[in-house]
Amino acid sequence: MTRAIYPGSFDPPTNGHLDVIERASHAFAELLVAVVVNPQKRHPMFTLDERERMLRESVAHLGNVRICHFRGLLADYVRAEKVDVIVKGLRVVSDFESEMATALMNRTLSDVDTLFLMSDQRFSFVSSSIVKEVFFLGGDVSGLVPEPVLRMMSTKRSERSHRNGG
C-alpha cells in the first residue's frame, strides 16, 4: 500500500492544489495533505486551523485523503509517518529549479522520492498569493478556489473591513 504526502503552505488552498490532490488520491492508496509552517513565509493570512479546515471541507468527497500539519523538516515527518512518496505539483518551468533542489535534499535526508504532477493548464497561473491579492482588491476568484475557501476568504474580508471601521 503506497502512502503519499502532499505538503504545502496552502495559504489558502487553490483549485490548482485541489486538482493535484484529486489526481494523487487516485494514484495512491492513501494521501496525507500536510499543512506546513513555512518559516520563509512569515505572515500567513490564514491560521493553521483555518487552512486545515478549508482543506478538510474541500476534500470531503475523497475517502483516502487525510489532512494533517507539522513543523520542522518534511524529511523527519516523512520518516515518522512511514510515507513512501512525496507529491508536488509543477506549474511552470521556473518551479522546477527550486523543486529539484528540494526533492534531492529530501531524498538525501529521508531516502524518499518526490513525484511531480504537471498542473492542469487551467491552473498553471494560479498561486495562493495571486489569488489573495486579486480577491482582497475586489476581483472575482470564484473559479480559482474551492467553495469553502471562497467562504473563508469572504469572512476574512468582512473581519478586516470591520476592524478598519468600514
Residues identified as active-site: 17, 41, 91, 128
What is the longest distance spanned by two Cα atoms in the chain? 54
Cβ nearer to ligand PNS, comparing 76 with 159 = 76
The site string for ligand PNS over 23-62 (x = CB under 6 A, - otherwise) reads -------------x-x--x---------------------
| Shortest Cβ 166–ligand PNS spacing (Å) | 31
Give the number of residues in contact with ligand PNS, rule: CB under 6 A: 12
Regarding 16 and contact with ligand PNS (CB under 6 A), the answer is no
Closest CA to 157 of 146, 140, 123, 143: 140
- Site residues (CB under 6 A) for ligand PNS, limited to 109-148: none
* Span near ligand PNS by CB under 6 A; candidates 4-12, 47-55, 136-144, 151-159: 4-12
Here's the x/- map for ligand PNS, 67-86, by CB under 6 A: it reads as: ------xxx-----------
Interacting residues with ligand PNS (CB under 6 A): 7-9, 36, 38, 41, 73-75, 102, 105-106
